[in-house]
Amino acid sequence: MFDLPKSCRVLIQGVDRPAALVAVETMLTYGTNIVAEVAAGRGGQSGGRIPVFDLVEQAQTELGQMDVAIIFNSPWQVLDAALESISAGIERIIICSGGVPPLDSLEILRHSADVMVLGSGSAGMIAPDRLLLGSFNPDCFQLGTVGIISRSKSLACETADLLRRYQLGQSLVIHVGSDAILGSTGSEWLNILSQDSQTRVILLLGNIDRDDELLAVARSIKQKVIAYRPQLTSSIAPLSDAAMLLRAGRRSQQSQNLMANHQQGKKNGEKMGEGVTVADSIFVLPKLLQDSLTNVSSG
């Protein structure tokens, strides 16, 4: 459902929020086709590059159907914004706002049977050199064949930046969100990436062995799956402080030794059945991915 062309039509909700202002500029610079913005009480304002409306329905009546809605509203306004987009027939919704009340998230899920919801608390997704939807910093990513699924924005960026140094680019990077209740799950995105012709290997950032459904899906798909297991308690992702932990780890002697092992070509991965390998160090990921891609090519 997120197999979108670069020209897909994007609507921004809650554009008056500070996070939205920064993200919109980044997306426009990257070439994202933002067609309309919605901000209650600001409809009809002119002078900007993108027309602003009070309601999603007004935007679509004037400009036509939108492919994606990206929500930056305040947490307590997200439910109304999401239901407005769902009622308007928008089939892909990215909720960048974090801290959405759990009951509101459940209400969104109740109304989104035919809608793909990413988030809440999501940085969105990026297909390098093609499409940016959300608040990722595109400088961390480059085009390639590694699909990444994470529940931590900072960990996704740190990992992609490390892989970039080894010329291991990405086909699609997904941040499923940081809130307790999410729309689409890591398992769903594994299935989506398994059908993507550009994705040759998939990297999960989080504790796959804590999620039986995720592990079962990872074992069943055609691509090799590598999971980085941070020494934290959350499933498919540390929820916060990922960057701080990584930077602290890089300063430790243990991490220096791990990097040295990687440079010597040593592996540090635990196999969890056919097609799934789990690594306890971020520094061995380049080697594991390189070997997996080599095996795919030779196969």
Per-residue pLDDT at 273: 62
100 and 121 Cβ atoms separated by less than 8 Å: yes
Task: Let me know whether 99 and 144 are in one domain.
Answer: no
- pLDDT tens digits for 46-60? 557 899 999 999 999
The CATH number assigned to the domain holding 47 equals 3.40.50.720
Per-residue pLDDT at 44: 66
| Structural tokens at position 294 | 């080599």
Per-residue pLDDT at 156: 94
pLDDT band at 212 (very low <50, low <70, confident <90, very high): confident
* Final residue in a domain of this structure, among 122, 154, 175: 122
Q: What is the pTM assigned to this prediction? A: 0.87
Q: Strand runs (DSSP E) across the chain, as ranges?
A: 10-13, 34-38, 52-53, 68-71, 92-95, 116-118, 124-127, 131-134, 143-150, 170-175, 201-205, 224-228, 269-271, 276-279
81 and 105 Cβ atoms separated by less than 8 Å: no
The CATH number assigned to the domain holding 273 equals 3.40.50.261
- pLDDT tens digits for 107-159? 999 999 999 999 999 999 999 999 999 999 999 999 999 999 998 899 999 99
- If one compares 185 and 10, the residue with the highest pLDDT of the two is 10
Tell me if 47 is assigned to some domain: yes
- pLDDT tens digits for 62-86? 999 999 999 999 999 999 999 999 9
Task: Let me know whether 277 and 142 are in one domain.
Answer: yes
Cβ contacts of residue 226 below 8 Å, gap of 6+? 201, 202, 203, 204, 269, 276, 277, 278, 279, 285, 288, 289, 292
Neighbour count for residue 195 (Cβ, 10 Å): 11
Which residues constitute the domain of residue 29?
A: 1-122
Per-residue pLDDT at 239: 39
